Structure formats: C-alpha cells, structure tokens
Amino acid sequence: MVLGALTHSRFSLIDPLISDDTRATVDALLALGAEVHQDSKGLAIYCEKLRAAPGTIDARNSGTTLRLIAGIASLLPSTTTLTGDQSLVRRPMVPLVEALIQLGAKCSYLRTPGTAPVSITGPIDGNRAEIPAGVSSQFVSSLLIACTQKRGDTAVHLKGELRSRPYVDITLGMLRAFGARVEEVAGGFVVPGEQVLSGDSYSVPGDYSSAAFPLSAAAVTGGDVTVGNLDPNSPQGDKAILTHLKSFGAKVSPTASSVRVVGGQLRGTEIDVRHTPDLFPILAVIGAVADGKTVLRGGESLREKESDRIATTTSFLEAMGARVRPLTDGCEIVGGEKLHGATVTTEGDHRILMAAAVAALVSASETRIEDEDSYKVSYPGFMRDMHQLGCRLEVRK
C-alpha cells in the first residue's frame, strides 16, 4: 500500500488482506493525501502528492502502520502526529525516532518518552543515520523506504545483529519490484535519494504467518489440513513453520501452490525464533503437546510485541496444565502432558488468541478465551476457517 501510494500513479493492489491492521494503513494513507477505493479485485490507490494530515493518525494496534507511516511523515515539511491503541502506545519508537532526528526531523513524544503518541516534522535531508538492528525490523524497513524519497543519498548504519532479517529482505525485494535501488554494504545500506518508484499492480501472496495456525492445528490433533495459495519460494520468514513442523515430527507436503500437514507422533525440539518471533506462541503450543523437551530461544523482542508474548504464552499454557518455564528470550517446555481447559486472558493479542484456540483443540475440557475478536487484526477469516476444519468455536457475549 505504502509503495503503491509513493508511485504517484494509478496502482492496483490485488487480493490484499482486509483486516484491522491494513485498514489502519488505508486510513493513514487517506489522511496523507491518497485516494483508496476497494473493488472486486482489491484496492485502487492513487496519491498525486503527499500532504499534511488534517489530524492525528491513529495506527490502532498496527505496529507496522505506525513505524512505516512515521518514515513517510518525515518526508513532509509539516507536523504529523501518530498514535495507537493502549497496546501500541507501550511499544518502543526510540530507535526509529532517533534515526529520523539524525536525518534532520524534529520529533516530540507527547505523553511518555520513547513511545507514541509522537509528532514528526520533516523534511529529512541528512546523509547518515545509525539505528539499532536488534529491536525491530520495522524500524529498518521504514527508514529504507523513506530514504528512497528524501533529498540526497543516505548511509544507514546498523548497530548490532539485524533481528527478523527475513522481514527486511521482503522490504528490499518489494523496493526492487518498484524499481528502487538499495545497496547493502558492510554494516548497513546505502540508499540513493529522490528515486522514482514505478508499478501499476501487485498481487499479495498467501501469508505463512496466518497459515501457521491451521497447519499447526493439524499437527497437534493428528489431523490432515491443506492450505492453498502458499508460494514455496516465498521470502517470508514465517515459511520456517514448515521446517519446524517437520522437526516436531509432523508430515509436511508442500506443492507448487499449497501445503499439506498431517499430524503424527510429535517429539520435542529446539528452535531459534530470532528471525521469526511471530511463530513463538504457536510453536510453544506444539511443544506442549509433543513428547519430551522443547526449547524456544532467541526471542528477546517478544517482550515488546502486542503483549509480552513470553509471559502471555507461558501463562495460558501453564493454566492449561503444561509444564512450561519462561526464559528471558523464550521458554522451556516439557511436553506430553494432557492439557485441560482453562480461562485464557490474551491481553488483546491476536496471536495469543489464535494459539490458545489451537491448544484448546487438544484439551480435555472447555477453554474460555476472554477476547472475542482480536484475531481480526491479522487473520479475519480465522473463525471461519477453523469452523470449516471442524473446530467448535462459540462467541459468547
């Protein structure tokens, strides 16, 4: 959506996910001067010129929206104020804001230092920015996109190891698809400025992050599930769910356009979630069902997601009878114990709701999840798809 708007020409986004997160992005682009219309194929986007937002832009629960739009706002010679919901305003913004300040933006935190709401006044025109690489890939992606549009070339220096590298690779691939040039060098990137992005359409591929839930449901229940529209050559980091399911002992059969998973005798394994932190909750559920010990490490950034995902994941699994121990960067689970129903609090986190629902499939009694719709943030078809696969889900007011 963002790159399509930056072509400043008529652009079609085919088969987009229409969810709470992407609606937040649509609303942000509308506020910044874009026209966005939905049709039978997807979204038609046109932005003749970026303009000052007439009011505060609310990214709601979408960290991606907040971070990407912060970079776009820094291109404007006006002040843009960005905020989000109760969860999002607790998530860090310092690395990106400091980088934008280094490039010449004026930024102010309006409530709590380091988090939204934040005001950003551009335009950025500096030639060097340094950004910690170990907090969130979204900061790096935002900076790379914005620097293709600013005046002058930019050297982006990364401090430390780049976390969630596959997401940055997706950004680089998307920029190349729109004709942009970004050179990767030792310690960072060089981004030529004032680049003209081009493209008239883009078809959104299937999402492995969402597919992980029905595929994992097959693994833990001994079921047989096929998910279509999944590209085996996709650069998405969460495609690693296929490797992880195999390592747990499930049968995984990818084709040119789908993936089939058949459950089997699951066994514990060790997984580094450093580059795929969104998979952590569902991997922990599989570990609780698998025989033996599962160790998930490398997820320090999980503490600063929509919830503290290490705490929320281990809490609901423990409530369901799993033997689980939280770690600073993940958890250890001794699996194989029969889970039982419990009352689960998700703290409004969509991935916790969906992971808990999968755990409930193999529990001996009813599970109540005190969150009726946060799944709509990223996977609005979750309830429909799980019903279709035979899961009994009931929404009680």
Catalytic residue, from 58, 238, 278, 329: name it.
278
Residue 220 CB burial class (10 angstroms; 0-12, 13-18, ≥19):
buried
Question: Does residue 278 carry a catalytic annotation?
Answer: yes
Q: Which residues contact 204 (CB under 8 A, 6 or more apart)?
A: 13, 14, 15, 16, 17, 42
- Collapsing DSSP to helix, strand or coil, 377 comes out as helix
| Tokens representing residue 21 in the block | 């997160």
| Tokens representing residue 377 in the block | 């943030």
Strand order in the sheet with 35-38: 35-38, 42-46, 11-14, 201-203
| Tokens representing residue 18 in the block | 């229409």
Q: Which residues contact 83 (CB under 8 A, 6 or more apart)?
A: 56, 57, 58, 59, 89, 110, 116, 117, 118
- Cβ atoms of 146 and 72 closer than 8 Å: yes
* Phi and psi, residue 118, nearest 5°: -140, 145
Dihedral angle of Cα 211, 212, 213, 216, to the nearest 10 degrees: 130
Q: Which residues are catalytic?
A: 278
